[in-house]
Amino acid sequence: MSDEDSIFSRLTPRQRTLAGLVLALSNFMVVLDLTIANVSVPHISGNLGITPDQGTWIITSYAVAEAICVPLTGWLAQRFGVVKMFIWAMIGFGIFSVLCGLSMSLTMLVACRIGQGLCGGPIMPMSQTLLLRIFPPDQRARAMGLWAMTTLLGPAMGPIIGGYISDNWSWHWIFFINVPIAILCVVAAMALLRPVETETARVPIDRMGLFLLVFWIGCLQIMLDIGRDHDWFGDPLIVILAILAVIGFAAFIIWELTEEHPIVDLRIFRHIGFTSGVFSLALGFGAYFAGIVVIPQWLQTSMGYTATDAGILTAMTAVAALMAAPIAARMTGRVDPRIMISGALFWLGLMTLWRAHWTSSIDFWSMAAPQFIQGFAMPFFMIPLTTLTLGSVRPDETASAAGLQNFLRTMALAIATSLVLTGWGNGQRVSRSEMAGTLQPADTQAQLSAMGMSFEQARQVISNLVDQEALAIAVDHVFFLSALVLFLATAIVWLAPKPTGPVDTSAAH
């Protein structure tokens, strides 16, 4: 009996099934937390007395922390054992979820979201590693299918669950609901997964590389998050952060290219297929996430929607993606992945251009149509991209390539959130000043005064209308720019050569 066969025999079929469900549930919880806070930002902002712009730090802090921790996953698993690290990560995620729910200030909430991200980052790849470890080869496809469904289901359920909880209970509960799931996963992992623990070894860690990674990403993200409140490069603090980010990034690249055991293996970028694939992923995912960020905020702050309705509208895309995923999975391997990816990105670009014509008088179903239709393209974008990128690197580089791919995707999410909200805010101010400069309000004021309004009331009504229209125009600008980015990503894919031979996607996460 081989070592691999002996690992499978340590669990009964029932234990294996239960362990698979628990691992899928843990992954669902972590992915859910990427989007569950999006529709709750207006509620949290109002409760904590902060601006909606500041409220988005809740989204970006989690994503950045998760991205930073992903490259550490392999080292942690080798040093302490994958089961032990999975259990400790789940315990940490549960504790920080409680602290997020108990937060009474933005500072505490952002700090605890960073803790959540640091603990949640390793859970996604480690749950996948454990699934491959407990299921024999003939059952892995079904197990990974279940895991992949949770990855798609999480973003779909996040806005709906977050919206319902915020409207009917309190935003604190979007974090508290993680606690029973975390406890269940910890207890089940301790009971079921101990027999499949991996061997440990004292492996070196690139401490300087880790420090430089945290340093330049931290400077960049702080600059992006506070820049719009500090007049960007008119503020010396923003200039200093930008310079530090550039210096840190340059030092990080030089160090990682010369380090024997780099924390991020940048040498993988020598493969043009991998490079073009991950840049298409970063641009495409960032542009797609722009809608997930801006739509709930616009609907709640300007259009009078509840968090629940905003969540349902936002989730339409992921519902369609779930329906199309089995078809995309069947086509992968039979059709050139570049055709599938570029076709999907072009489709997403067209749907985004459709949304760039929304107005303040648009109804729910007119918004739901492009949201739902664009969802059919998502699996044809995400699934073959793994085949393209991992098929472009050597087999011994697959794990590093998969980690780097996930890192860039998560960073794209955080950076896109900051840039989109900055663009939306700037667009709204520009549109408002343009409308105010050309508006002839005298006739409207006279009509409103004839209806019994005072001069100040009439003036306030006109001001509110201008604000509403300016926000709608700014949303359209965001979608137009997002569409251009998606069309650019469509072209970049074709820099990659066609993958040849079978591709091992087991290391993807």
Instruction: Report the pLDDT value the prediction gives residue 107, as an integer from 0 to 100.
Output: 85
Looking at the fold, whether 310 and 253 belong to one and the same domain comes out as no
Radius of gyration of the chain from its Cα atoms, rounded to whole angstroms:
24
State which amino acid sits at residue 470: A
Q: How far apart are CA 358 and CA 355, in angstroms?
A: 6
Neighbouring C-beta atoms of residue 451, cutoff 10 Å: 9
Closest CA to 371 of 62, 159, 162, 145: 159
Determine whether 349 is exposed, middle or buried from the number of CB atoms within 10 Å of its CB (0-12, 13-18, 19+): buried
DSSP 332: B
Contact 189, 85 (CB under 8 A): no
Domain span holding position 247 = 206-262
**Number of structural domains found in the chain:** 3
**Percent of the chain residues past pLDDT 90, beyond the cut:** 12
Instruction: Report the pLDDT value the prediction gives residue 443, as an integer from 0 to 100.
Output: 59
Q: Cα 173 to chain center, whole Å? A: 21
Q: Which of the four pLDDT bands, split at 50, 70 and 90, describes residue 1?
A: very low
Looking at the fold, whether 124 and 218 belong to one and the same domain comes out as no
- Domain final residue, candidates 169, 187, 204: 204
Looking at the fold, whether 258 and 283 belong to one and the same domain comes out as no
Q: How far apart are CA 405 and CA 265, in angstroms?
A: 11
Q: What is the 3-state secondary structure (H, E, C) of 257-282?
A: HHCCCCCCCHHHHHCHHHHHHHHHHH
b/e code 70-81 from CB counts within 10 Å (16+ = b): bbbbbbbbbbeb
Q: Which of the four pLDDT bands, split at 50, 70 and 90, describes residue 461?
A: low
Looking at the fold, whether 293 and 338 belong to one and the same domain comes out as yes
Q: Is 423 helix (H, G, I), strand (E, B) or coil?
A: helix
State which amino acid sits at residue 66: E
Closest CA to 292 of 379, 383, 416: 416
Contact 222, 203 (CB under 8 A): no
- The answer, yes or no, to whether residue 21 has pLDDT greater than 90, is no
DSSP 393: S
Looking at the fold, whether 170 and 301 belong to one and the same domain comes out as no
CB-based contacts of 90: which residues, under 8 Å, 6+ apart? 26, 119, 123, 182, 185, 186, 189
Instruction: Report the pLDDT value the prediction gives residue 345, as an integer from 0 to 100.
Output: 93
Residue 272 Cα distances to 75, 269, 312, 339, angstroms = 27, 7, 39, 17
Contact 173, 101 (CB under 8 A): yes
For residue 15, the domain's CATH number is: 1.20.1250.20
Q: How far apart are CA 172 and CA 285, in angstroms?
A: 28
Instruction: Report the pLDDT value the prediction gives residue 50, as an integer from 0 to 100.
Output: 77
Closest CA to 210 of 407, 58, 396, 414: 407
Q: Which residue's entry shows tokens 């709204």?
A: 428
Is the model more confident about 437 or about 326?
A: 326
Looking at the fold, whether 111 and 157 belong to one and the same domain comes out as yes
Q: Which of the four pLDDT bands, split at 50, 70 and 90, describes residue 110?
A: confident
State which amino acid sits at residue 374: Q
- Domain final residue, candidates 262, 281, 306: 262
Contact 181, 58 (CB under 8 A): no
Closest CA to 470 of 325, 359, 326, 310: 359
Partners of 332 in the β-ladder: 335
Instruction: Report the pLDDT value the prediction gives residue 157, as an integer from 0 to 100.
Output: 76
Looking at the fold, whether 219 and 199 belong to one and the same domain comes out as no
Q: Which of the four pLDDT bands, split at 50, 70 and 90, describes residue 250?
A: very high
Looking at the fold, whether 191 and 212 belong to one and the same domain comes out as no
Instruction: Report the pLDDT value the prediction gives residue 441, as an integer from 0 to 100.
Output: 63
Biggest distance spanned by C-alpha atoms of the chain: 92
- The answer, yes or no, to whether residue 369 has pLDDT greater than 50, is yes
Looking at the fold, whether 445 and 498 belong to one and the same domain comes out as yes
Q: Which of the four pLDDT bands, split at 50, 70 and 90, describes residue 243?
A: very high
Contact 50, 408 (CB under 8 A): no
DSSP 389: H
Average pLDDT rounded to a whole number, residues 91-118: 89
Q: Is 335 helix (H, G, I), strand (E, B) or coil?
A: strand
Contact 162, 40 (CB under 8 A): yes
**Percent of the chain residues past pLDDT 70, beyond the cut:** 87
Average pLDDT rounded to a whole number, residues 375-392: 81
Q: What would the pLDDT profile of 403-435 be if each residue is shown by its tens digit?
A: 788 788 888 887 887 788 788 877 777 777 776
Give the relative orientation of helices 272-301 and 137-168 as an angle to the nearest 10 degrees. Answer: 20
Looking at the fold, whether 314 and 224 belong to one and the same domain comes out as no
DSSP string, 433-475: HHHHHH---HHHHHHHHHTT--HHHHHHHHHHHHHHHHHHHHH
Tokens matching residue 343: 């076709």
- The answer, yes or no, to whether residue 2 has pLDDT greater than 50, is no
Q: Which residue's entry shows tokens 């043009």?
A: 272
- Domain final residue, candidates 155, 183, 204: 204
Q: How far apart are CA 59 and CA 114, in angstroms?
A: 10
Looking at the fold, whether 174 and 98 belong to one and the same domain comes out as yes
**Mean pLDDT, the chain, integer:** 80
Q: What would the pLDDT profile of 153-180 be if each residue is shown by its tens digit?
A: 777 677 778 878 888 888 888 888 888 9
Is the model more confident about 330 or about 108?
A: 108
b/e code 293-317 from CB counts within 10 Å (16+ = b): bbbbbbbbbbbebbbbbbbbbbbbb
Looking at the fold, whether 148 and 216 belong to one and the same domain comes out as no
Q: How far apart are CA 17 and CA 94, in angstroms?
A: 24
